[in-house]
Amino acid sequence: MRHLASCFIAATLLVSGLSAQFEFDQLPSSGQLIPQDETGYAPLSISGSIREYGWKTISLNLYRNDEIEPFSVQRHPLPYKRNHARFLFQEKLPAALVRYRAEVVLENWQGDLLTIATRTALYAGDAYLITGQSNALAKRHYDSDPHANDLQSEWVRSFVSSSDNPYAVGGHRAWGLADGETRYTPYGVGAWAFQLGDLIRHELQTPVAFLNGAVGGSSIYRHLRDNDDPTNLDTIYGRLLWRAKESKLQSHIRTIYWYQGEADGNAPGEYSANFDKLISAWREDYPALERVYVMQVREGCGVPDGSMILENIRQLPATHSEVQVVSTTALSGYDGCHYHFSGYQKLAGRLFDLILRDVYHTASIGVEVESPTVFSAMYSSTAQDEIILLWGPKGTQLVTQPDAELDFHLSDGAKVDSLTVSGRRLILQLDRPSASLRLRYVREDLSRILLDGSWITNSNGVGALNFDISIE
């Protein structure tokens, strides 16, 4: 399905006996978030032409919140050529919790004024993309949970519908308040995105917009770009890219959040190759992209025992330097597939700590915001009844909770009796000598899959990544 967008707004305005013919080729929409640049300002451009003679000047008046007097006025003479005059306004809006209003006003030679455009509720802030499957949608699953939308505010926004219906997506171009409760609805962003946005606006005093393009139960293959028609609305990729273009966010997306993999649990073999294609397309279509945060899925929800999909996801940073894999272990409220609100809320906190360091460059944030990941495993005794695991990143302080040893598995049936932490080393004492060549860290049986505790974390409470690695 192809969509042809209008490239300008043309109109004739008649007010109090005054008329003007004009067209805009750059004009924001009311409710729009304009992304800030590295200086902390959002560039606002308004341009077009007046198509009849008789107007002396054109002005751009900018207001903050409900103020009556403008804080900025630009006034330009109109240089006519054959009854046609071009105009251009460029302004930088400070990124802050401020609601801006813009008015474009004509003045004739008699001093009469005519407002030809008013745009209200303009915001200067940051924008992020989310995609994947149902845990990226993160709709409300339990009526007993707190309501994500209890914190709904004008400072967390989205653009058009998150629907998987191409006609619902392409049918309008409107901005609105982000919705953290439902899926496939106008302005739906999901619970953890909504919470992340609230943290950004509260802690950093910055408005934020999310575009969530996730589709429940979707394989990674379904997320690949149609290279012949990248904005094809019949594709998951195309609907999200179309929204990014229409919202004027495309060239300013620095971060993408990817939460997907459950649908590929039974066929993980092509996952890495398909992710290569996906991130290559992202790099082309989102030229400002700096970081991709990938959530590692958990067993359950279509991921069978022994699936290599968890390890494939863990290994993605080895070939993609912009990728940071984020653990979903040690999140509360897991039901075997999705999460109660508490789990999504905790995930938002983890992601906020990461972007504080990586996007907003908060100097005090260290490595304890990262998910611990294993670097190597080796037998450390001649009897092969002890294994030492080296974890990273460097500086990680491991914490083991009671019964965490039950989530380690060796192929020959040997069990882990106890765990000892020494810096970023974890020593596994086995119940007998083992000849196993591989070691897995994952929850297998349902009783442990649904358990909230008994994790390996860092000192910040961030759960360790699951793994399936060879033993040296």
Domain 9-120: CATH class, spelled out: mainly beta
Mean pLDDT value across the chain: 92
Range with the lowest mean pLDDT among 16-20, 65-69, 456-460?
Answer: 16-20
How far is Cα 178 from Cα 114, in angstroms, rounded to an integer? Answer: 34
Q: Of 259, 258, 166, 244, give the one whose Cα is nearest residue 211.
A: 244
Fold agreement between 9-120 and 123-369: no
pLDDT reported for residue 7: 42
Q: What digits encode the pLDDT tens for the residues 21-66?
A: 999 999 999 999 999 999 999 999 999 999 988 899 999 999 999 9
Q: Where are the chain's structural domains?
A: 9-120, 123-369, 373-470
Q: Label residue 344 exposed, middle or buried (CB < 10 Å: 0-12, 13-18, 19+).
A: buried
At residue 3 the predicted structure's pLDDT band, cuts being 50, 70 and 90, is very low
pLDDT band for position 268 (50/70/90)?
Answer: confident
How far apart (Å, rounded) are the C-alpha atoms in residues 184 and 223? 16
Q: Quote the distance between the C-alpha of residue 367 and its chain's center.
A: 21
State the alpha helices, DSSP H only, in 93-247: 134-137, 166-170, 191-204, 236-246
The per-residue pLDDT for 82 is 83
Give the pLDDT band of residue 5 (cuts 50, 70, 90): very low
Average pLDDT over residues 85-89: 96
Residue 143: partners with Cβ closer than 8 Å, 6 or more residues away: none
Query: Where does residue 371 fall: left (phi above 0), alpha (psi -120 to 50 degrees), or beta otherwise?
Result: beta
HSE (side-chain half, CA atoms, 13 Å) at 51: 10
- Distance (Å, whole) CA 217 – CA 260: 9
Chain segment 146-188, per-residue pLDDT in tens? 888 888 999 999 998 777 777 777 667 899 999 998 878 889 9
**CA 194 to CA 348: how far, in whole Å?**
8
Which tokens hold the place of 224? 């690949």
Angle, CA of 81, 86 and 89, to the nearest 5°: 155
123-369 carries CATH number 3.40.50.1110: yes
